[in-house]
Amino acid sequence: MALDELKSAVPDFAKDLKLNLGSVIGNSDLPQQQLWGTVLACAIASRSPKVLRELEPEAKANLSAEAYTAAKSAAAVMAMNNVFYRTRHLLSDPEYGTLRAGLRMNVIGNPGVEKVDFELWSLAVSAINGCGQCLDSHEQVLRKAGVDRETIQEAVKVASVIQAVGVTLDAEAVLAEQ
């Protein structure tokens, strides 16, 4: 199992990450599609080759072809949106907020899976990418759709642990090259 291999790659000084990885993925209360779509989208967003290589096969095995593609689409469109909307939010000139975005993001309207699942994956990727405006937007859509805070927090926990594991493993790989 790739999850076990990933956990075993986490160094001893980051034991908490190893334990959390097993817990947020291995013992998640999220339905399988929501969990593994979140895992895949976050593995992509983490930008860690090792994390993506280890988690992608298991995600693919646990997702329908449509959900697999939609999770990758969530990571892709949020990579764009998180930069754009975070920048607009951070610029001190409020006029940028009134300008038309002019960016295609059709997949958000028709992701090929349940809208709630796609929104959850988008929220998790936005957590990794640090876009407060996107986080608020996706959280509001999820809450209006009846998703509870615990489910939203569960996706954010998955995102935070995957990101931390990626950062740690990539740093260790660089240090091992010295």
Hey, what are 48's tokens?
Answer: 């860690």
Q: Catalytic residues, which ones?
A: 131, 134
What pTM did the predictor assign? 0.95
- Backbone φ and ψ of 11, nearest 5°: -65, 160
Hey, what are 16's tokens?
Answer: 């908490």
Q: What is the pLDDT of residues 24-69, one digit of tens each?
A: 999 999 999 999 999 999 999 999 999 999 999 999 999 999 999 9
Contacts of 27 (CB under 8 A, 6+ apart): none
Host H or E run for residue 63? none
On average, the pLDDT of the chain sits at 96
Number of CB atoms found within 10 A of residue 50's CB: 19
How would residue 1 be classed by pLDDT, with cut points 50, 70 and 90?
low
Are 76 and 122 spatial neighbours (Cβ–Cβ below 8 Å)? Answer: no
Are 74 and 37 spatial neighbours (Cβ–Cβ below 8 Å)? Answer: yes
Instruction: Supply angle C-alpha 145, 133, 74, rounded to 5.
Output: 65
Contacts of 24 (CB under 8 A, 6+ apart): 154, 157, 158, 161
Q: What is the pLDDT of residues 70-118, one digit of tens each?
A: 999 999 999 999 999 999 999 999 999 999 999 999 999 999 999 999 9
Q: What is the pLDDT of residues 136-147, one digit of tens each?
A: 999 999 999 999
Give the residue, 72 or 5, on which the prediction is more confident. 72
Instruction: Measure the CA–CA gap between 94 and 88, rounded to whole angstroms.
Output: 8
